Structure 1
């Protein structure tokens, strides 16, 4: 029992430090917010599909997303995320392919976070919750966002 408490404490400390670094690394004020709902699936190659809403200058902009990961992926899960948007000057800069800018963290109970950046320099700092079974031994290669009409 002592060992499990030590391990739990170390995991919590590492997660707290990483989440703190994600927040502190952005020495800027957010210019918008996002909320995302995504379904993740996989058998060898993994993928995801979903949508979300960008809130920018008091207006809401719906978007669609698709993702791809390489490596061993097995399972199906649903992920929801919320977060802040940085370095966005116009809505037209938001669509594109977002890739991991910094390491992500996944905690027990399906809680995690990551920082993504697209080719226009727009950054999303996300906090997520996942439900379902998802074994992913690969890396996210990209998350492509297109604006909904």
Structure 2
């Protein structure tokens, strides 16, 4: 039985590495112009939501931001998500705030690890790698994450 668990775990880790690597390769066609780190709390019952904050690093300067999200569908539980990633297609900080929606397929890997590419109305792309702690069953879709900044 332990051998089966190790085999399954090995397969899951291999698939996770391939999927995350695929997202990274897709994003690396362009050179990142900045980095983000995000801390977010997710909650829900029927309609889900999230609130959080993060830091954008752009041209050597750090810019704090806040975010709010909404998901529809069956969404039950409370969890905490942290993410890091790269920012693409941004020439100035004022292009960063806005509503980010899914740009490419998201992935959910075992053990609370996932990846997501988001794009806002200004064409700014975030390629995120996330880790989630807690219990959150989401059978819906993220409709958007709104980023705001004090400038």
- Per the TM superposition, whether the score is higher than 0.5 is yes
Question: Can you list the C-alpha shifts for 1:75-130, whole angstroms capped at 9, x where unaligned?
Answer: 01111111111111000110111111122222222121111111111111111111
Q: CA deviation at 1:3?
A: 5.0
Aligned to 1:138: 140
CA contact (8 A) 1:63 1:146 kept: yes
**1:1-149 alignment, distance < 5 Å:** 1=1, 4-26=5-27, 27-148=29-150
Runs of 5+ unmatched residues, structure 2:
none
Cα contact 2:12–2:110 (8 A) shared by 1: no
1: CA distance, partners of 2:78 / 2:30: 36
CA distance in 1 between partners of 2:7 and 2:150 (Å): 47
**Alignment RMSD:** 1.5
TM-score (norm: length of structure 2): 0.91
| CA shift for structure 1 position 148 | 3.0
Count of residue pairs the alignment pairs up = 149
Cα distance in 2 between the residues matched to 1:106 and 1:83: 16
Gap runs ≥5 in structure 1: none
Q: TM-score, normalised by structure 1?
A: 0.92
Question: 1:15–1:105: 8 Å Cα contact kept in structure 2?
Answer: no
